[in-house]
Amino acid sequence: MSSLIQRIREWFTSILTFKINVINASAVQMHLEPKRQQLNGSALQKIDMSLIWVMIILLAWGFVMVYSASIAMPDNPKFSKLTGTYFMSRHALFLLMAGVIAFVAFQFPVSVWETMAPWLFVTSLLLLIAVLIPHVGKVVNGARRWIPLGFISFQPSEFVKFAMLLYASDYMVRKMDIKERFFVAVMPIGIAVLVVGLLLLAEPDMGAFMVIAVIAMGILFLGGVNARMFFLIAALIVMAFGAMIALSEWRRERIFAYLDPWSAEHTLGKGYQLSHSLIAFGRGEIFGVGLGGSVEKLHWLPEAHTDFLLAVIGEEFGLVGVTLVIGLFLWLTRRIMHIGRQAIALDRLFAGLVAQGVGIWIGFQAFINMGVNLGALPTKGLTLPLMSYGGSAILFNTVALAIVLRIDYESKELMRGGRQ
């Protein structure tokens, strides 16, 4: 009997011990769970979701408009072997590749990009030389700007924009102590821009050279270069571009066509694209003719899915659509510049200059493309960032914005007491 009572006592003791352990484990779990949620919430708060959503809107809208602008291209004998979804499917592939590579780029700390900056710039110069070699670079419409890589083509000039952005930012950080001395601090980066410009003009690609020059100049100015020296360099660059236009007959014709696109001499020549772009905007009026209803994309407006995508947006979505696109790019540029200023305030000079350089790049190229489409600027072969068809442009635009997101992430982590 005593042994039975002893067994019952041990059984109750084991049950009681088990319950106590379960209660203690539950208490520990309940104590740790809020901390886990807090950690997860803080991680999400370090990523600028508003910037990501604006990027997604522009990329998605661009995807729809590329399909709309290119769906009728197989009716043209030049593209008769293609299907109506050819450009859409390729653009979808470009977006997928760009998204994956941008996600990978976000994983690298900004310090890694600072270390790689000179090597990326040297690589970009080698690619610019390679594209000029016969049987290496591919000629399209008289310009040798692409390197064929199987089913896709790579455009080195887009890589140079990205590489120059990183290199100029890294250069200014290294030369910060002597930034007031022109020949020591500014001349080397000026020579680098000159070399890049000569290689780009040999393609020719004056539009890319203009963007790269503005990126470099903007970073020099934001880096604190002497104002007098900055305006002197700006004046020299303007004079250089003016001389290139004056000495090139076909560039002069573009300027004359821009000034009077409706003349009999220019309407069917250099002013053809601009005149039909303006017709597209005129047809769109306030609210547009509706998605897919554009007439100008039906073989009237050349390069409707690349350089003149905004004209198709204007025709199908009207003034409302164009205003929305302009507003999205204004917000995007302003937000990127704010991220750059915030990084500089935290003594992260390289990160701040890179972010503001991306803002200059996206904002200036969008401004030029919109001005060309609207007839406010002479015709120039620059695409609308994030929206126009083009694998290399989409890739480096998204990678640049991924680095901006990384800069913002590290700045927020630093402000919360973390480490870079």
Q: Which H helix or E strand runs over 154?
A: strand 152-154
- The mean predicted confidence, pLDDT, of the chain is 83
Instruction: Provide the 10 A C-beta neighbour count for residue 188.
Output: 12
pLDDT at site 122: 95
pLDDT at site 271: 78
pLDDT at site 28: 39
366 CB-near residues (< 8 Å, 6+ apart):
329, 333, 384, 385
pLDDT at site 223: 80
Backbone dihedral angles phi then psi of residue 11, each to the nearest 5 degrees: -65, -45
- DSSP H stretches of helix in 175-308: 187-201, 206-222, 227-247, 249-259, 272-284
pLDDT at site 84: 80
pLDDT by residue (tens digit) across 68-113?
999 988 887 777 788 888 999 999 999 999 999 999 999 999 999 9
The sign of the dihedral angle between the CA atoms of 207, 395, 145, 156 is: positive
pLDDT at site 44: 57
pLDDT at site 45: 66
Enumerate the β-bridge partners of residue 138.
146
pLDDT at site 268: 73
Q: Which residues of the chain have pLDDT under 70?
A: 1-45, 177-185, 226-230, 250, 264, 418-420
pLDDT at site 22: 38
pLDDT by residue (tens digit) across 229-278?
667 777 777 787 777 777 777 677 777 777 777 776 777 777 788 888 99
pLDDT at site 346: 93
Instruction: Provide the 10 A C-beta neighbour count for residue 174.
Output: 14
pLDDT at site 105: 96
